[in-house]
A and B are shown apart, each in its own frame.
Chain A
């Protein structure tokens, strides 16, 4: 069936409800909403949230925005907490302690801080153990909840509160970690990188695949942050589009080790198009800092080429 966002939204009421306290223009809530829409109607889910913007804004006692069962325990352990829930499900199912027709899915949401950094060990462990779950990283490229501190997902040169663009050090001096590849290194059945563009088609389809592929699956979804990135709230979808059109955030999936690039822009936009609308990169556009843009472009180019190569290599007969 062809993807039709209107039909999906009409047929599948949101399992992540309005009334939460995420910022206007934040990229994360549409990610949660769309991922959960990929659940089949009769299926239940247990959602686990790592401490972070999404968790503290959606579940403030005594209110919750999650209509499915939800658990939050700490910052670094959404994957291991959910692996306990999943293990309990397996055990209780096996013993006949749950209804036979019960079909429960397990989905974790963590920001880049809780996933790339402090939660990496717990994530790696849970993925390696093969729990039947989907881990969704909503990557906004810094510790936004605590006030925009750099993470290992923060792009090079970004101005954050712990890598301020100063007169001697012009922002973050290290490159971004490639988490999706680390997950690919775990030989998972399904790893994908996505973003909310084109009516969320890409995200919806990948979420559906991840949820309904048996075993541990990982989704890395870029989720812009108006506060941390410094764009106008209404520009969210435009920023998402530019991330893809410049190949800063390529859309691809890795199915049983085989890379599939889902979108290859015919005319790749220069990286400036993505950087310019964001205040965190403002200093890169000062006269004399052209080298920073050049270096950034070079990195985007080489990562894109690497991805093209990987697609070719992994699909060789």
Chain B
């Protein structure tokens, strides 16, 4: 029997970590993810986990220690947000290039500057090309479920890549919601033992990791990383299937909410999807064929599948909770529209930058986006595709 609880997103992440029982956790406090290592250290202090908790002096050292620990042959986890992730940036790339299946809980928050502690996705978008698998979570349940699935994906021998599970800072990390937890023994069995083939602490086989890798080899090594990221797609689906068998909860690359017969739709990630579902229901009751594609797996990017799922629409809006400041549009917009182009999907598409620095994402704002989409669908004219939602003035 699963366990019904009421937990915040951070508590859910910490409990997932407790059940996973990693060998090493190295973390540094930063709002809004601080509570995760905080709760976790209580588990350590009370002997509820076997973990060595390394209370590092910075996020750079947190990721460095995770790299060391995972390379040593252990399971290592961490949690961070915003500037913490920015400070890790160098090590983020090194972790993936060393093919270390570290798992991170990323509680999304705006990256400075100016300083802001609230939610947007600028932290995650800053590492979108770093070779990490990136999974987004609408609510506490998903933040928990995604963490339980994380190691099975990351440690798969065809993948061997680090993985981050994202959730929205404060919006889900600090909101208490109903949640269904899985029993400890079931999680233990599902996650399984970590048995790396090569590791530093193997006395029978000494290895060297992290070489100077010059023109003769680096390209091939990067290609291997790219292939691993492509391999991750199938593994993510396979693990989701097993997870569904255990819990009944179904996961894929994305969730389609009333999308199959929709004429207009929004594409977004994390908690905004919840608000969007509410708006879709409202519009549906008015006879408007609105739908939603909630992207769960952002890296690897399931371009073909997304393009196909959106191909029947008359207009689509892609919502970015981070501005790429490239003068052209957000990262999700760029990825979705280029996937549409490659898959001969010419549905009119428009981009909304929204929720920056924790700006409220209101149902009314989303309703207005659908209204815009209706106009676009009617006229076939996108106008300026690079727009804002919820911006004053």
Contacts and interface: CB of A to CB of B under 8 A. Distances in A.
Contact of A84 (B51, B76, B212): B76
Contact of A71 (B60, B202, B203, B210): B210
B157 interface: no
B71 A71 contact: yes
Contact of B209 (A56, A71, A74, A77): A71
Contacts of B61: 77, 80, 83, 121-122, 125-126
Contacts of A46: 72, 200-201
A59 B212 contact: yes
A90 interface: yes
Nearest to A104: B201
Contacts of A102: 201, 203
A59 B214 CA distance: 11
Contacts of A48: 68
Given A69-B201, A80-B64, A87 B212 contact: no
A55 B206 CA distance: 17
A99 interface: yes
A231 interface: no
A74 B23 CA distance: 23
Interface in A91-132: 91-92, 94-95, 97-99, 102, 104, 121-122, 124-126, 128-129
A89 interface: yes
Contacts, number: 161
**Contact residues on B (Cβ < 8 Å of other chain), bracket:** 35 or more
A90 B52 contact: yes
A88 B54 CA distance: 10
A88 B72 contact: yes
Contacts of A76: 60
Interface in A41-83: 44, 46, 48, 55-56, 59-62, 64, 66-74, 76-77, 80-83
Contacts of A91: 23-24, 50-52, 69, 74
Contacts of A121: 57-58, 61
Contacts of A124: 57
Contacts of A60: 211-212, 214
A69 B65 contact: no
Contacts of B65: 80-81, 83-84, 87
B55 interface: yes
A257 B70 CA distance: 34
Contacts of A292: none
A186 to B, nearest CB: 12
Contacts of B385: none
Given A91-B52, A94-B50, A125-B58, A84 B203 contact: no
A68 B90 CA distance: 26
Nearest to B198: A69
B54 A84 contact: yes
A85 interface: yes
Nearest to B95: A73
B211 A99 contact: no
Of listed B71, B210, B214, residue having the most chain A CB within 10 A:
B210
B208 A87 contact: no
B212 A56 contact: yes
A210 B50 CA distance: 29
Q: Which of B50, B54, B90, B216 has the most CB of A within 10 A?
A: B54
A73 B71 CA distance: 10
Nearest to A99: B203
A118 B57 CA distance: 14
A61 B68 contact: no
B152 to A, nearest CB: 19
A77 B60 contact: yes
Given A61-B213, A87-B52, A121-B57, A92 B68 contact: no
B106 to A, nearest CB: 19
A305 B302 CA distance: 68
Nearest to B67: A73
Contacts of A84: 24, 26, 54, 64-72, 76
B187 interface: no
Interface string A233-266: 0000000000000000000000000000000000
Contact of A66 (B73, B208, B216): B208
Q: State the 10 A-B residue pairs at the shortest beta-carbon distance, nearest first.
A: A84-B68, A125-B57, A84-B65, A80-B61, A88-B72, A88-B74, A84-B69, A72-B210, A61-B211, A80-B64
Interface of A: 44, 46, 48, 55-56, 59-62, 64, 66-74, 76-77, 80-92, 94-95, 97-99, 102, 104, 121-122, 124-126, 128-129
7 contacts: A61-B211, A84-B26, A84-B66, A91-B24, A91-B50, A121-B58, A122-B58
Given A44-B203, A62-B217, 15 more contacts: A46-B200, A60-B212, A60-B214, A70-B206, A70-B207, A73-B210, A74-B64, A77-B91, A80-B60, A84-B76, A88-B70, A94-B50, A95-B23, A121-B58, A125-B61
